[in-house]
A and B are shown apart, each in its own frame.
Chain A
Amino acid sequence: MSFKNLVIGCAVSIFALYALLLLSLLGFFEARGFTETLLSGRVLFSIRLSLIAATISTILSVAIGLPAAYALSRYEFRGKQLIDTVLEMPMVLSPVSLGAVILIFFNTRPGEFIQSHVMTFVFEVSGIILAQFVTTAGIATRLIKTSLDEIPLRYEAVARSLGATPFHAFLTVTMPLARKGILAAAILSWAKAMGEFGATIMVAGSMAMKTETIPIAIFMRLAGADIGGAVVLITILLAFGMGVLSLVRFLGLPRHDQA
């Protein structure tokens, strides 16, 4: 077997694996039951909750990730290496562990203070947003930093020599040039937040009509042996995920494997 055929064979087998898994859903798929389940109040609530929580957590991730990525990309400062390494924590630590860490934090003095004086997170929608934010902020920052690193520093140097302040140079030159990368980071963070389960269930629990996002709803359906219902929810999640990735391809945005 030639090298070319060997590597193509590997690519095809990965596709076959995922295709096989997806095809197995068909055995439990019922067209009538699908519409009924989809339009049920509980599923619609999960979809709405997932969309809202993922959108808010993505906005927060990009809002802090963009300036943070700029600092890491453009400036030298003490602790930069450490911050850069910590950004990968959500990738190294499993989501369940990350959720457990958040939960443990809220059992410490500062955590309890926040819970009672600032905002309640545990078993609340805000907990879902927090869990998703913690999971995606590092990734969003890393992805945006990669885009900013590709923009030559010289553009900003010229802009500043023409009278732009550092903020203006960032706003009028660097950000427009990195816009595709920033948008791709936002979309991929959103997709990641939509599918987030481990950290969410640890922090927000699995309360129907309160903290039940789509992934949690899938877990609940399976726990209740409702495979048909789980298949409907998996299909919805899959549609959102694939839709977003297609959008990334359609817009010609850079895709980063780290996400």
Chain B
Amino acid sequence: MIKLNKLSIRAPGFAADDISLTIRPGEVHALIGPSGAGKTLVLETIAGLYRPHSGNILINDQDVTRHPPEQRAFAYVPQDTSLFPHLSVEENILYGLRVTHQEIHSDIEQHVQRLTERLNIRNLLDRLPGKLSGGERQRVALARALAIRPRLLLLDEPTSALDPAIKEETCYFFKELHREFRFSALLVTHNFEEAFFLSDIFSILIDGRIRQTGKRKEVLYHPRDVDVARFLGVSNLFKGSIIRIKDDEVILSWEETGEAITAKRTFRDEWVTEGMDIYWGIRPEDVHIIRGEHKRVGENLLYANLLAVYSGKNSYNLVTRLTSTGTVVKIALRDTVLHRLKISAGDLLQIHLIPETIILLPSG
């Protein structure tokens, strides 16, 4: 088990504090945060390339904070892979074993062979890194890191430089590899879709602090604060106050419109009390459009004008404005749904904010 205990890092123009997280054996932990949040610096500090200002790095309760990188066995794969350009793919993969003078006995040989087979790079062993594609470079870098059977694999934005098809393929290679070798890894990325695909547990790093750690559903549907919610795609964020709490229901007043909005309360919302000022939000994909012939009256139903429709990769992003106050509400629809609804800019829509998907956030 690897533990970061209240790690504090200082660098020119950057400070991170109170970085605490635990990586259990065989777990892939993702450290997610916006670009410029200092994720790489945190990763390189864990690798031993920088000394933290305070705090500890523990491997099975042994403090390795002051150990040099070569004594940690944390294999580092930088964003650009940094394959050694003067060494062949095979020499790159065997680098860690050779430099530590490990005898390449049959067990290690088998391990390396399995890695190169699973990563589909056996036919590349004689090539120089300069002759490889982006996806191949990433796979070779993974093989080189895993060849030494590291205690922890440190991955910096592993697919950010790859084009979409190769990105997906590399992610599948990683998943397959992890299923077979069960290594522990810490992945840093600004791409939460990549993080959700590759990792088991997530820590959100914003402004040099870990704001939240949790599993996928927890961070996605119960972000701890407004910044985390915004970073994770909750782009409809509004102010409000709690009017009433009844069983598993929370009735809140939408400050901008004066409308009463109903939200479902879970055990994570126990901090909410009546009269409290809060922020609340809803993901664009959780705002539903009621088809013309089914218009109805009830909770969380509002009228809005459709201002614009922007196309995305698999969905459309709709910008609407409430007829009552002009407040902007964003909606995301899958291609097929939009075509079925037959709507276009200028139409009047009835929208529904599904109570189960409304996120309650502290205001301070």
Question: Taking beta carbons and an 8 Å cutoff, which residues of A are in contact with B?
Answer: 152, 154-155, 157-166, 168, 172-173, 176-177
B49 contact set on A, CB distance < 8 A: 157, 160
Inter-chain contact B82/A152, CB cutoff 8 Å: yes
Contact surface of B with A, Cβ cutoff 8 Å: 44, 47-49, 68-70, 72-78, 80, 82, 84-86, 95-96, 99-100, 144-145, 148, 154
User: By the criterion CB–CB under 8 Å, are A164 and B76 in contact?
Assistant: no
User: Known: A162-B145, A163-B148, A177-B85. Contact between A157 and B44, CB under 8 A?
Assistant: yes
Q: Which residues of A contact B44 (CB under 8 A)?
A: 157
Q: Is the interface of A mostly helix, strand, loop or mixed?
A: helix
A166 contact set on B, CB distance < 8 A: 68
B68 to chain A, nearest CB (A): 7
B80 touches A157 (CB 8 A): no
- Shortest distance between the CB of A51 and any CB in chain B (Å): 31
Known A160-B48, A160-B49, A163-B70; 19 more pairs at CB < 8 Å: A157-B47, A157-B78, A158-B76, A158-B84, A159-B95, A161-B47, A161-B69, A161-B74, A161-B154, A162-B75, A162-B100, A162-B145, A162-B148, A163-B96, A164-B100, A168-B99, A172-B95, A176-B86, A177-B84
State whether B73 touches A163 (Cβ < 8 A): yes
What residues of chain B lie closer than 8 Å to A168, measured between beta carbons? 99
User: Please, which residues of chain B bring their CB within 8 A of the CB of A165?
Assistant: 68, 70
Known: A158-B76, A160-B68, A160-B70. A177 touches B86 (CB 8 A): yes
Q: Looking at the assembled complex, report how far the CB atom of A167 sits from the nearest CB atom of chain B, in whole angstroms.
A: 11
Asked if residues A154 and B68 are in contact (CB atoms below 8 Å), the reply is no
- Which chain B residues lie closer than 8 Å to A162 at the CB level? 75, 95-96, 99-100, 144-145, 148
Minimal Cβ-Cβ distance residue in A for B96 = A162
- In the complex, the chain B residue whose C-beta lies closest to that of A171 is B99
In the bound complex, residues from chain B placing their C-beta under 8 Å from that of A157 are: 44, 47, 49, 69, 76, 78, 82
Q: For residue B145, which residue of chain A has the nearest CB?
A: A162
Residue of B whose beta carbon sits closest to that of A154: B82
Q: Please judge, given known A-B contacts A172-B99, A176-B86, A177-B86, whether A160 and B69 are in contact too, CB under 8 Å.
A: yes
CB distance from B291 to the nearest CB of A (A): 55
Distance of B200 from chain A, by nearest CB (Å) = 23
For residue B82, which residues in chain A have a CB less than 8 angstroms away from its CB?
A: 152, 154-155, 157-158
Question: Knowing A154-B80, A168-B99, A172-B99 touch, does A161 contact B75 (C-beta < 8 A)?
Answer: yes
Closest beta carbon of chain B to A138's beta carbon, Å? 28
Contacts of B69 in A (CB 8 A): 157, 160-161
Smallest CB–CB gap between A162 and chain B, Å?
Answer: 3
Give the shortest distance, in Å, between B234 (CB) and chain A (any CB).
35
A157→B85 CA distance, assembly (Å): 15
A162 to B144 alpha-carbon distance, docked (Å): 8
What is the chain A residue whose CB lies nearest that of B144?
A: A162
